[in-house]
Structures are given as C-alpha cells and as structure tokens.
Amino acid sequence: PGVLLSINEFAFLLLPIINLFCYSPNNVIIKNTRLKRNIVLLFIVLVFTEVVVKNVIYGQSIGDAFKTIRIGLTLFSSLILITQGIRADIRIVWKTLLMAISVSAILSFVSLAIDPNILVEQGGRAGTANAYFGVIGLYLLIEDKNKWYNQGKLVKITAVLSLIGLLLGFNRTYLALLFYEGVYLTFRRFSIKKFFKILFFVGIFLGMLFYVYKTNDIIGRQVDKRILSIVLGEADLKENTVENNRDLIYDNIEARINENHWVLGLPYKKPVFSRYNLENEYIAYAKTDTSFINILLRYGFLVLLLFFNVLYLMYRKKYFIPIIFWVFFFASFNTDSLLAQNSVFFLFIFSFVLLSSYNFKK
C-alpha cells in the first residue's frame, strides 16, 4: 500500500502468521474465552473504525487506515499471540528470545566502540529497543531461582546486558521505576543473602557506570543532567520524569480532546501535536509518549476501554508478575511502553513463559 516497513515492523507483522504454522506438545495456549472475546472485539472495533467510519467521516483512505494501525503494531501483534497461544515449544521460544536480546545488546555496545559518533547522534543514550527487557531482567536476577525459565547462564547474561542497556538509555522514567522495583524486590521476602546479592549487583552496575562516566564525556553529560541533578537536589524527580517540557504537548492533547477526537480517534493525517525540534524544524507528531493517550486519540475511547479490560483480565488471572506489570504500566504515562515499544511484547511473551512453568520440572 505504499508503506515502507522497517525490519522490526515486518517481523511483528509476520510473527502471528509464522506462529500459526508451528506445533509442539510443549506449546502454551491461554484458555480464557472472555479474554479472547475481548481481544477479538477490540480488533473488530479497531478495523471497522479505521476502514469504514473514518472513511465516511474524514475521507480517510485504506492506506491511511493501515498507517494508523501500524502505529500500534507491536501491541496488536502481541494481542493476536494471546488469542493464538504460543504454538511452538515455549522453551525454544524463550531461549531464542534471550539470545536475540543478548546479541542485540552486544551489537549495540560493539557499534559504540567502533563508531563513537553514534553516541553523539543518539544524544548520549546507548540503549536499544530491546533494553526494556531489563525490567524483567532485574526481576530474574533476584527472584524465581527455582523456575525452569531462570536456569542457566544465558538468562543471567541476558538480564545483565539488558539492564545495562536500559541504564545507559538514561530514560529518567525507567531509572526512577527501576529504583523502586529494586527496593520492592529487596524487601519482598527479605533475607540477608538476598540483600548482599542485590548489593553485589548494584556495586557492579554503579562501578561500570562510574567508569563510563569518567571515560566518556557524552555519557558523562547525560549522567550529570539526568541523574546527578536529581540526586544533588538541583532538579525535582517528578519534574524530570513526568513534567519536564511537556506543557506544549499537554495543551495540544487537551485541544484534540476538546475537538471530540477521543470518540473515534484522529484521522491519520491530523497529528496529535506539532512543535519545533532542536534543528528548528516544525514537526507534526502522530503520537505522544503516553500510551493511553495514543490509543485514545488514534483509535478512540472504545478501543482504549477494551484494552483496559484485556489488561484487567490478564492481571486478575495472574498472567503478569505484578511488579513487572506496574513498572511498565506507570512507565506508559511518560513513554510508549504499552503500545509501540518492545516492552509490551516482552510483557505478554513473559506471560506465556509464566503459564508454562506448571508443565515443566526443573
């Protein structure tokens, strides 16, 4: 339809199709009719609104409908997997995912060593799209030592690499939430052994961060701006993680809501907000850094309501580890963690891994 997909978008588009052709006795199927019914209804409303309703009201083309759905391709691909189940051997899927995340992190670090200009282009941030697995990685480093999915060196290596990548991304929202996750995991079923283990990991990460801080000026400036300014009291944590430079975005969001675009969502060609970037170019943005606002203003209230219901049903049935879910949930108020980022895929895939833990012995 005249759309050039990136490699990761093409992969998310193919993933449910490839999954249909897989079979293994060690698959994981979610047997929850109500959950699947809500997901199917979400897709019916989504497609009907984008293809039919917006065509009638806004004159939106089929191509623009596809482009709008494309914004949430990570989420929608993950939701389809929930309805299908993981038809392949979940142990192989888990191992493959861990290997992919580890290779991604290693390639990222190697590329920075080969070409330091990449760091300049990224504004001093060294994280990757797969670094969001670090939220799950932190959990795996501390909890569930007796579970099949937390055995062997690969999972430890992946957890550490993804956590380093997430820390080097210098996303202030995730830095704050990782701190709270670490505190929660430390005092949940507290023991001296767990305390010293966490202290060991913290010492390693702080030591690596201090080394990079002293040897790399670009990362050093990021640390000064995003971490030390908060620790030394020069900047407020709430302001840095949520409110900083957001007035223009919030004003535009309020304007779109007042225009009643919360009912059906915006037509593709109308941005959520527009502003000048650092190069003084006026840019129109199709989405914001808030997942729920993106769903509301791109797809409408009913799709958002159905999505909330899906999350509620999965949480109530304990398909999520609570602390992991709440980290991604709160992150979604200042990043796109539950719509377009790989984090929502990791959250849902880990649900299959958790559900399979009853089927395998250590």
Q: Report DSSP letters for 1-27, one per residue.
A: ------HHHHHHHHHHHHHHT---TT-
Report yes or no: 68 and 294 within 8 Å, Cβ to Cβ: no
Residue 1 predicted with pLDDT over 90: no
Pick from 351, 354, 329: which is nearest to 341 by CA? 329
| 174: CB partners within 8 A, 6+ apart | 132, 134, 135, 166, 331, 335
Confidence (pLDDT) at 224: 63
Confidence (pLDDT) at 268: 92
Confidence (pLDDT) at 71: 93
Per-residue burial over 138-164, b if 16 or more Cβ lie within 10 Å, else e, is bbbbbbbeebbbbeeeebebbbbbbbb
Helix segments in 73-216, DSSP class H: 73-84, 90-114, 117-121, 134-142, 153-168, 172-187, 192-215
| 299: CB partners within 8 A, 6+ apart | 46, 49, 50, 68, 72, 265
Residue 139 predicted with pLDDT over 70: yes
Q: Residues of the chain with pLDDT > 90: what percent?
A: 57
The pLDDT of 63-71, averaged and rounded, is 92
Confidence of residue 284 (pLDDT cuts 50, 70, 90): confident
Cα 212 off chain centre by: 26
Least confident of 4-13, 78-87, 125-134, 312-321: 125-134
Rounded Cα–Cα distance for residues 132 and 337 (Å): 9
Least confident of 4-8, 9-13, 156-160, 342-346: 4-8
Angle of the 73-84 helix axis to the 7-20 helix axis, nearest 10: 10
Report yes or no: 153 and 317 within 8 Å, Cβ to Cβ: no
pTM of the complete model: 0.88
Confidence (pLDDT) at 243: 45
At 134, the amino acid letter reads: G
Residue 133 predicted with pLDDT over 60: yes
Higher pLDDT, 359 or 287: 287
Least confident of 5-19, 34-48, 264-278: 264-278
Beta pairing partners, 28 = 86
Q: What is the mean pLDDT of the chain?
A: 85
Cα Rg of the chain (Å, integer): 21
The pLDDT of 223-238, averaged and rounded, is 55
